Amino acid sequence: MAAFLQWRKFVFFDKDTVKDPVDSGKNVVLPGGISACDSGRGHIIWLMTRSLQLTYFQAYKLRVTHLYQLKQHSILISVGQDEQGINPLVKVWNLDKRDSGNPLCTRIFPAIPGNKPTEVSCLSVHENLNFMAIGFTDGSVVLTKGDITRDRHSKTLTLHEGSSPVTGLAFRQVAKVTHLFVATLERVHCYTLSIKEYPKVELDTHGCALRCSSLADPSQDSQFIVAGDECVYLYQPDERGPCFAFDGHKLLAHWHRGYLFLLIRDAKSPNKTGFGNRESSPSDKQLLTIYDLDNKFIAYSASFDDVIDVVAEWGSFYILTRDGKMFVLQEKDTQTKLEMLFKKNLFVMAINLAKSQHLDSDGLSEIFRQYGDHLYLKGDHDGAIQQYIRTIGKLEPSYVIRKFLDAQRIHNLTAYLQALHRQSLANADHTTLLLNCYTKLKDSSKLEEFIKSSDSEVHFDVEIAIKVLRQAGYHSHAVFLAEKHMHHEWYLKIQLEDLKNYQEGLRYIGRLPFEQAESTMKHYGKTLMLHVPEDTTLLLKGLCTNYHPSGDAPEKDSPERSRANSEEFIPIFANNPRELKAFLEHMIEVDPCSPQGVYDTLLELRLQDWAHEQDPQRKRVLQGEAVSLLRSDNTVFDKALVLCQMHNFKEGVLYLYEKGKLYQQIMHYHMQNEEYGKIVEACKRYGDQEGCLWEQALGYFARKEEDCKAYISEVLHHIDQNNLMPPLLVVQTLAHNSTATLSVIKDYLINKLQRESQQIEDDERKIRQYREETAHLRSEIQELKTSAKIFQKTKCNMCNSPLELPSVHFLCSHSFHQHCFESYAESEAECPTCTPENRKVMDMLRAQDQKRDLHDHFNRQLRSSNDGFSVVADYFGRGVFNKLTLVTDLPGNKTAGSLEGNLQKDLLIHTKRNC
């Protein structure tokens, strides 16, 4: 029970007397004898329009006792009498239709319960026109169900019977459930009309007087209001609700637009008792009070003389008095109300009022701000910050932050910033400020709560938070935040640079996806290699072969393998050659097609180990490893050669020289190291591919003053066998060696002279032979030209059968059957037997003719040959140097020159003769 004496009183209404629209200086005068009135649909019944034009029509012959104007329909229900006695009639009027200038009466029926004459005490109609309830002084309630505007579509029944007069009726409609509240002088009941049996519930054992009950609007859950002399009760369909201790003798109770209107008799007036005796003398004073039950204050209170009724229409409240006056109460606008509350610093009440008036969020935010400023000036910082929190989203946060920064109220500022983050309206600066507040307060629990909240609860700039926590020294919190939100770079930066937790950093990298793990290792690889070399090397091995994060299972049938370029990670091992060697050896073992730099770097490492090894046995093993790497043909020739030369790796240098066909460099290498036997061996191995090696070897030994006779003799033997140098050049070369005596070249010179003598003899013998053959051919040619040729062949040279006519004879003494010749001869002018040999001769002649002009080929052969004279002699024999002479035969003259010129041609002349 709430005591209204504690409620504040305000003047939220402006009272004025309604003026006559025709004569503005006079007040409106109501007609006398008003016994009932109501409002709705733009009228105040007995009938007055908004322009205050009073219209009327005669509804009953005697009097009108009750009126009910529907709010959603132009239907008016009236109760009155046409005859003397107790015979009330109910009439239903359609105000939109006219009958001889008056509203159309659609229905008339007597209001008598059970044919017992009794007076009507109250009337209520449902807005859906399906229910009408009439209360009587004998305690009966008659319910009309169906279309109340027509007789044939409705039926009437007695719903309630009792001994106490009915004082109030009200229909309540919530969703599809319809209730009827019935108030008497002694009881309050509720009927459920949406159920056929119409179940009844008794809500209370005390009732109220006439016109002292009403139905609240949905803001009060459509409760039934009953105003007793001590209290005002609110009822639900099934129970009694709240109770308000509004003392005083109640004359009238209405609910309009969220306000409860109570008309109370002035305490100084004499008491008047008795049912239905509500008429008062002109000296009666009545107090009209308007209550706001939601916000617990009195909106208006004023004294009036003998009020007939209070009606609401046209946005205002009208008070009708017995003396014919009409007063209007116009509600002040919301802003004016709020300003009145602000002046009294009643901010809580202003907030509640604004909410009940459905003020927008901007208006509410301004109230919260003013309330916060008021509390701030009073020094109530805790209360002020609570109000400022309610302005988030409307008020600029800097307005609040500046106040509490100046006031050094870190606790309050922290609360505001927390709320700002909870509503996801914080920016990076707010996050920074909040975390700094936490760190200054050293409130680790709040800090953990903030950063460990789920994403759906708090949204903030994670990167900014990590930076602030790191600067403040809260590394564990920063690490947690970086790991939770997958800021890998910040996580590793803190672990490796601040906490020096290299093992944990390496473990974290191993759980990252391939691309991120690769980029991270390129950035932090050197640091990790310095402190945890073995684990770092192990991770790099996996990253460059077939990487998968440590928390995931490898995909066996994955078509694409995540593999980094191992060459890019070599600089990471700058100070860890042992780990680098293990890494590179793993790479070439797992992937023989590793990048070129892997093999080159591994070669360099193996050569370094070989160069620094002192144990002969171990040195041989390292030498074999280096050579095997060279033989794999995966190293770059130039780089490998430089590395081998830098480390004086003899086997590698010689292998690379041989691989690159640098035979002269092999010779020079042995000459620099004065390895005489190796020099001769190299000449034997590569002399066939590059003949000048023997000449270089001879010159080298000739310049040596040591006793090199054995090597010189061996070199001379190979030169002599292959005729690589002229003897004169050999003698001149050896003339520079003081130790090389004549005995060294004695055998060489003797053999050389003997071979040349033998060659001269062979050449002279061939010359004589060629001359004899040439003379024989010339004589044969001459004989063919000057004497007859007798063919005495008796057998065919083709089939070796006796010759028969016809036959074919050639000057070469070959004879053939005609049919044999035609079958085997390729040309009619050539002998089939001599044709192959002749063609060889002709091909040789043509080849000589073609090579006669090949000067480039001649120069090339001359430069590359060891014996230039033989090349020149060969070309002389081909006629390259012969001068062309054009011989013209004069008529009748045949000179010896023409005979010489046609000698070869005549050898091939043949005659075909048919016998």
pLDDT, tens only, 630-675: 667 666 566 766 777 776 666 666 666 666 566 667 667 766 666 6
Q: What is the DSSP code string of 656-703?
A: HHHHTT-HHHHHHHHHHTT-HHHHHHHHHHHTTT-THHHHHHHHHHHH
> Which position has the higher pLDDT, 660 or 887?
660
pLDDT-above-90 percentage for the chain: 5
Name the architecture of domain 1-30+246-267+284-332.
Answer: Beta Barrel (2.40)
Task: Give the helix ranges, DSSP H, for 261-302.
Answer: none
SS3 label, residue 622: helix
Mean pLDDT value of segment 83-105: 84
Report pLDDT for 292. 84
The overall average pLDDT reported for the chain is 75
Report pLDDT for 483. 74
pLDDT, tens only, 64-82: 888 888 888 888 888 888 8
Number of residues that make up the chain = 915
Alpha carbon 554 to its chain centroid, in Å, reads: 25
Report pLDDT for 73. 85
pLDDT over 90 (residue 576): no
Mean pLDDT value of segment 289-308: 84
C-alpha distance from residue 335 to each of 147, 151, 585, 843, 850 (Å): 45, 51, 85, 127, 122
What are the boundaries of each domain within the chain?
A: 1-30+246-267+284-332, 507-550+566-593, 661-757, 796-853
pLDDT over 90 (residue 183): yes
Contacts of 55 by beta carbon, 8 Å cutoff, 6+ apart: 47, 48, 49
629 near 603, Cβ under 8 Å?
yes
Q: Using pLDDT thresholds of 50, 70 and 90, give the confidence band for residue 1.
A: very low
pLDDT over 90 (residue 190): yes
Report pLDDT for 912. 34
Q: Using pLDDT thresholds of 50, 70 and 90, give the confidence band for residue 559.
A: very low
Let me know if 362 is exposed, middle or buried by CB neighbors in 10 A (0-12, 13-18, 19+): exposed
Q: How far apart are CA 318 and CA 27, in angstroms?
A: 14
Q: Using pLDDT thresholds of 50, 70 and 90, give the confidence band for residue 721.
A: low
E strands present in 512-612: none
Q: How far apart are CA 732 and CA 702, in angstroms?
A: 10
Report pLDDT for 552. 54
Q: How far apart are CA 857 and CA 799, in angstroms?
A: 47
pLDDT, tens only, 12-21: 787 888 777 6
> Which position has the higher pLDDT, 713 or 915?
713
> Which position has the higher pLDDT, 257 or 360?
257
Q: Using pLDDT thresholds of 50, 70 and 90, give the confidence band for residue 892.
A: very low
What are the structure tokens assigned to 862, written together? 């001359």
Report pLDDT for 708. 63
pLDDT over 70 (residue 43): no
- Of 202-206, 281-285, 315-319, 697-701, the one with minimum mean pLDDT is 281-285
Ranked by mean pLDDT, the top range of 213-222, 628-637, 700-709, 895-904 is: 213-222
pLDDT, tens only, 459-509: 566 777 777 777 777 777 777 777 777 777 777 877 777 777 888 888 888
Alpha carbon 658 to its chain centroid, in Å, reads: 57
351 near 42, Cβ under 8 Å?
no
> Which position has the higher pLDDT, 689 or 103?
103
Q: Using pLDDT thresholds of 50, 70 and 90, give the confidence band for residue 182.
A: very high
pLDDT, tens only, 118-139: 889 999 999 888 899 999 998 8
Report pLDDT for 898. 41
CA angle 480, 481, 482 (to 5 degrees): 95
| Helical (H) or strand (E) element with 169 | strand 166-174
Q: Using pLDDT thresholds of 50, 70 and 90, give the confidence band for residue 583.
A: confident
Mean pLDDT value of segment 82-90: 83
pLDDT over 60 (residue 883): no
Report pLDDT for 180. 93
Q: Crossing angle of helices 727-734/692-703, nearest 10°?
A: 30
Mean pLDDT value of segment 84-106: 84
Mean pLDDT value of segment 730-743: 60
Mean pLDDT value of segment 178-202: 91
pLDDT over 50 (residue 372): yes
Give phi and psi for 412, each to the nearest 5.
-65, -40
pLDDT over 70 (residue 428): yes
Q: Do the strands 102-110 and 120-125 form a parallel or antiparallel pair, or are they unpaired?
A: unpaired
pLDDT over 50 (residue 554): no
C-alpha distance from residue 50 to each of 20, 47, 332, 518 (Å): 12, 10, 20, 84
Q: Using pLDDT thresholds of 50, 70 and 90, give the confidence band for residue 47.
A: very low
Ranked by mean pLDDT, the top range of 88-97, 528-537, 730-739 is: 88-97
pLDDT over 60 (residue 369): yes
Contacts of 529 by beta carbon, 8 Å cutoff, 6+ apart: 536, 537, 572, 573, 575, 576, 579
pLDDT over 60 (residue 407): no
Report pLDDT for 461. 67
pTM: 0.50
CA-based nearest residue to 40, from 158, 99, 125, 110: 125
pLDDT over 50 (residue 628): yes
Mean pLDDT value of segment 518-530: 81
- Of 566-580, 662-676, 778-792, 889-903, the one with minimum mean pLDDT is 889-903
Ranked by mean pLDDT, the top range of 111-115, 283-287, 858-862 is: 111-115
CA angle 60, 62, 64 (to 5 degrees): 60
Q: Using pLDDT thresholds of 50, 70 and 90, give the confidence band for residue 191.
A: very high
> Which position has the higher pLDDT, 511 or 645?
511
What are the structure tokens assigned to 296, written together? 């617990």
Q: Do the strands 316-321 and 38-40 form a parallel or antiparallel pair, or are they unpaired?
A: unpaired
389 near 366, Cβ under 8 Å?
no
CA angle 77, 78, 81 (to 5 degrees): 155
Q: How far apart are CA 296 and CA 6, in angstroms?
A: 9
